[in-house]
Amino acid sequence: MNNNQRNISYRMKDPVICPICGAKYFKEMLLTGGGRLIAGNLTPELRRLYVPSKKFGVVIPLIYPISVCPSCFYASFGDDFNKLQDVEIMKIKSEINSRKEGIQKIFGKLNFEDNRNLVTGSASYILAIDCYQKRGYQVAPTPKKAICSLRAAWLLGDMHEKFPDIGYDKIQKFLYLKAMNYYKTLMDIMSSGSEPHDQFVHLLGPDTDKNWGFDGVIYLNGYFNFKFLDELAKNDEEKLKILEESKRLVGKLYGMGKASKAKPSVLINLARDLYESINAKIEQITGVKVAE
């Protein structure tokens, strides 16, 4: 552990006891004050970028939220870590070996007793997705798989920038598509209440700095439809149908294409930009200018 890392995070005094295998470990927590986090731009995917500081260097808040047992690689958000039913424990315990082997095929040998880094941070979300597959509706697994998939895609993009020859971009694309599918289901959950809202509304982020709530979910559904249009549609007719649906979703935030005079916000501005990009794509396909 170097001094720089010690100043970024700390270990909790009381050990965590894994409910799956009984292993004890001391959870690492991020320190946030003292100029450690210098907020930069917000991306069109609602990811907050951070400017490296002279004193602490690069700090990535996203790599810390998922609790991972260093022995059996059970992973979840902290609030869910001990909220397991017997059947969930049995399912997660039965796949310890396959879980560890699967994640290490992607990242190589992993040590979750060390301080978090980009590699173990990325792996933590993929492990969490796998474990939430075996969780019951009472912990709202679908929204959490959506958030984990998107955050993992972001971090895999960072990995690809550092190690461009390994193929992390392919895994990133796979995770983006998983996120897109989970976010579509999340729209239904928001309206039907089929998974308890109180278990996930505080996590909707999708990043850790600001929770855009249900508006963020609506926006990201429109955004994913646009971003992955070619993967979703086989022909122009299907593309136009998807684009119109995206436009409808984004229009809920943007006021059907007209800027809101109430409270201008970053999200409204992003929705406006996306709305205009959707119109441009429709015009490109049809050859007809879209009415303002």
Tell me the CA distances in angstroms from 20 to 29, 66, 126, 274, one per residue in order.
21, 16, 18, 44
Would you mind telling me the total number of residues written for the chain in this entry? 292
CA distance 78 to 83: 10
Whether the pLDDT of residue 34 is over 90: the answer is no
Whether the pLDDT of residue 6 is over 70: the answer is no
Please check whether residues 60 and 197 belong to one and the same domain: yes
> For 133-161, b where at least 16 C-beta lie within 10 A, e where not — what string?
ebbeeebbbbbbbbbbbbbbbbbbbbbbe
Q: Enter the pTM of the model.
A: 0.93
Task: State residue 257's pLDDT score.
Answer: 44
**Last residue of some domain: 211, 228, 262?**
211
**Last residue of some domain: 211, 231, 259?**
211
CA distance 138 to 195: 7
Please check whether residues 110 and 224 belong to one and the same domain: no
Please check whether residues 186 and 284 belong to one and the same domain: no
Q: What residues are paired with 75 via a beta bridge?
A: 68
Domain count for the chain, please give it.
2
Domain of residue 35, residue span: 3-211
**Last residue of some domain: 172, 194, 211?**
211
Please check whether residues 231 and 117 belong to one and the same domain: no
Token pair of 132 as six digits: 């939430």
The predicted-structure confidence for 107-166, as pLDDT tens digits, reads as follows 999 999 999 999 999 999 999 999 999 999 999 999 999 999 999 999 999 999 999 999
Please check whether residues 17 and 124 belong to one and the same domain: yes
